[in-house]
Amino acid sequence: MKKLAMITRFPCQEDAVEYINNNFDGVIGLGDVECPQYLNNFHGILGEMESVYIMKYLKKTEKLITKEFLGLSTDFSTEISITHFPPKGFKSGMIINVEIGKKEISAKILSSKTKIIIHGHSENQTIVNSQGFQVISVGAFEKGYLAIYYPEEKKVQLSKISSH
């Protein structure tokens, strides 16, 4: 069975890269991934921390997810959507114990087919069920958090590694 790591706030450290490459069939980056070129079978979206080099690399190699990928969409056209930023008002995004989120993401969710929203940017892992939606924060990899996506089942499982 195929299993993919979903990561955000991923540091470019040899042991972190090795862990991901040894334990997963591929990677879906939810933004703020420092070195996607070292991760096997990487595809992802951009966050605010990526350099121009990473943006160009993802576009050139066609690894930038711009619409739909393995049942996930960035335009909220599928049942499961991915975004870097959390939606505002759903209480799923936290940085230094401060709730974060974007109104634009909330508006897109409320007018879409999406039922499950998976996002990066946040430090903590959480699952929030609100207004008929499930909002999942994968949490920061730098804190050991990631999610595992099983594309055949369209299933997401939160996970924490003890050291990376």
List, for residues 22-50, the tens digit of each pLDDT value: 999 999 999 999 999 999 999 999 998 88
Q: Which domain holds residue 30?
A: 4-160
Q: Could you tell me the pTM of the whole model?
A: 0.92
Number of domains in the chain: 1
Looking at residue 135, its pLDDT comes to 94
Q: Is pLDDT larger for residue 11 or for residue 101? A: 11
Joined together, the tokens standing for residue 131 give 């207004």
Give the CATH number of the domain where residue 152 resides.
Answer: 3.60.21.10
Q: How far apart are CA 56 and CA 118, in angstroms?
A: 24
